[in-house]
Amino acid sequence: MLQTVKPKLHPDWINPHALKVVKKLQSKGFLCYLVGGCVRDLMVGINPKDFDIVSSARPRQIKKSIPNAYIIGKRFRLVLARRGDLQLEIATFRRNKTAEDLLDISENEPEITGDNYFGEPEEDAQRRDFTINALFYDPFKNEVIDFLTGKEDLKYKNIKIIGEAKTRILEDPIRIFRAIRLAHKLSFTIDPDLQKVIHTNSDCILESILPRRREEFIKFLKLKNPSAAFLQAKDLGILKHIAPTLDKALDNEEFVLRLREKPESLNHQSTAQLFSFLIWAYYRSEINSDPYKAHSGKELLANEDLMQLMKIELGMFNYEQAMACKAFSMQANFENFTQLNKKEKDVQSAKNAFPVAYLYSLMDQSHSASTLTTINQYIDYEK
């Protein structure tokens, strides 16, 4: 019987390009570790998608040591090294600004700009968001370095913030979204004290900007069960401040059930299709449950509640909004698709909304298997 082997802290599960970077910087005499999400995921048996690296080397030293690498950022300078489709982020250990730093500025020393106060590994760990994200791993010594309680919190499946919870949440309210997402990605529990702080200070999420919230909503939608994360955000009082339409929709059991039925294949599709999945769930539960009777795209784009959800709350781009809405009309007419000649089929399938309309049909199970098979032949999965 074939058994599935879970990832673990072993070089076989670490991207060889990341190992080469760590080895190179260590050979130059610098401290260098894998850090953050990749270490966390490997320790719980998840294959990481990204490998972040942290070192005592300064950005210019990293760039000089690593081929095909370049420095980015002003506020937070780090080095990017591209290796095929993989992009490695190599940062320098950071520390918080101190009173001595301010004194140096007053004595005509050059001011360090942004968040570029370099420090020691322990200082760097204290600056990270959650204890389980503050673990360093040396793949050549096979050593996990934990300055906090990261290993213990992984063992007990606990999402605990570093430092005083209220201070850290008010410092960056997006950490609320990250805590919720990690809890549902890993099947962990948010620390009770942190939950209480989030609920009590839920209005601080208004201080976050829409583009950052958009990215977090996309990450919610990539979860196996997005409905659970959205419901917890509602229960913690977050959504009523920034997404009242979505908050209200989550009172509708049908909407929640549809969110729960997310196709696994969506994780590999575009953000437009991920958002379209949520809009499909909203449309079917709040506007029109009949897949053969669709409003026109223009009519839907004039719907105030739908536009509030898409544009103001989720931060969907204009083309994403148009694609999601137009697909409903296209889906309703799919039974006629098989009757078209090849040229007409080519014209229809070239439209941006075509793959989304096909997605809607799959989720609604609204068309015959033969019709869906014919349509599938015209889907360009490389787009």
List active site positions: 50, 52, 129
> Which of 170, 147, 42, 21 is closest to 95 using CA atoms?
147
Tokens encoding 48: 């990481």
Q: Write down the residue that tokens 């074939």 correspond to.
A: 2
How many C-beta neighbours within 10 Å does residue 206 have? Answer: 10
Q: Determine the Cα–Cα distance for residues 62 and 362; give it in Å rounded to an integer.
A: 48
Instruction: End-to-end CA distance of the chain: give it in Å, rounded.
Output: 38
**Residue 95 and residue 117 in contact, taking contact as beta carbons nearer than 8 Å:** yes
What does the CA dihedral 344, 350, 353, 354 come to, rounded to 10 degrees?
Answer: 60
- Beta-carbon count within 10 A of 3 CB: 5
CA distance 172 to 183: 18
Parallel/antiparallel/unpaired status of strands 189-190 and 158-159: parallel
Contact 184, 262 (CB under 8 A): no
Angle at 254 between CA 379 and CA 366, to 5 degrees: 35
Contact 319, 272 (CB under 8 A): yes
| DSSP per-residue codes, 10-61 | SGGGS-HHHHHHHHHHHHTT--EEEETHHHHHHHHT---S--EEEESS-HHH
DSSP codes, 266-278? GGGS-HHHHHHHH
What type of residue sits at position 382? E
